[in-house]
Structure 1
């Protein structure tokens, strides 16, 4: 009975920690940087490597730019028509990495069924149990006059394969990332 309760508790703990994927945010401003000193922003070009990934993320990149522009406009900046007119440039970096989730078999939880042979051996091994994608967005704010990086931030999380869920994740992640930019 104790073993059943312990197994159930471990399973529930694993489910709550494994399924609660949250966005990991890191930001680093330059000394003395404040967003309020800038008026207009523009995006630098984003190149995607379709041949390497095999997937076209251009629609998601466009949505990500729209959401970033919306959040910056809420903070008082305007989007400039060209990069020459902007006093703040935004460089985006996007990485989507496909991961394999595995578990290790062991003698305690997966005992062998038949032990009657003398030369029988048991080896633990990795068993694939699923695949998932990890998305990382890095945002670099560059002052074009000084040609210096004034703020950098990254957001990373397990992303959904469903487009509507992915858009929701992008909205929440960009909102949290932009809130880290000092005023």
Structure 2
């Protein structure tokens, strides 16, 4: 989701039984628990996420009110290095062998590249009760191009926040 090839995949959402996004007129971001100093290359991406959230929530008529929002938005991001593999196939990749040695061939996973996958958690907290009222989790492959990332972050955030209406 952080910046996926297909604008991310919503993994899960959870909401409190009495939660309704339409009961909130304002929002703010909670103090970040992201240590941007530890990942400066992603600082701009975190701003893309915040901008995407602002655009989505203000589009719903919820006002961005720094320091005074009734709904606090907390962002969590985890980034993992992943290995892309492919499976060898005896039908399309048969071994060529001639001789008298004892030889066997088996299907196996072969690494072909690496990529970074981001997991994005979005918590909505009622400021008055200090209770989490909604949580959404999404994942996606992180692209290296900022322009593409910005577009995909907006699409992924919209996809995740669409779950508020269900």
TM interval, shorter chain, is 0.7 to 0.9
- Tell me how far 1:81 sits from its aligned partner: 2.3
Q: Spell out the pairing of 1:14-163 with structure 2 (5 A cutoff).
A: 21=6, 23-25=8-10, 26-46=12-32, 47-48=34-35, 50-51=37-38, 56-82=41-67, 85-163=68-146
Length, aligned pairs only: 160
In our comparison, the structure showing a higher alpha carbon Rg is 1
Aligned partners of 2:151 and 2:109: how far apart in 1?
33
Once the two structures are TM-superposed, the CA of residue 123 in structure 1 deviates from its matched residue by 4.7
Q: Does 1:179 align with 2:165?
A: no
Tell me which stretches of 4 or more aligned residues in structure 1 moved more than 6 Å.
Answer: none
Give the gaps of 5 or more residues in structure 2: none
TM-score using structure 1 length = 0.76
Q: Give the structure with the larger helix fraction.
A: 1
Root mean square deviation, CA, Å: 2.2
1:162 positional shift: 1.3
- d(CA) in 2 for partners of 1:73 and 1:177? 15
SS at match of 2:94: coil
CA–CA distance in structure 2, aligned partners of residues 50 and 106 of structure 1: 45
Gap runs ≥5 in structure 1: 1-19
Q: 1:177 to 1:121 in 2, by over 3 A?
A: closer
1:21 shift after superposition: 4.0
Q: Distance in 2 between matches of 1:143 and 1:70?
A: 20
Shift of 1:115: 3.0
TM-score, structure 2 as length reference: 0.83
Return the match for 2:152 from 128, 151, 169: 169
Q: 1:41 to 1:73 in 2, by over 3 A?
A: same
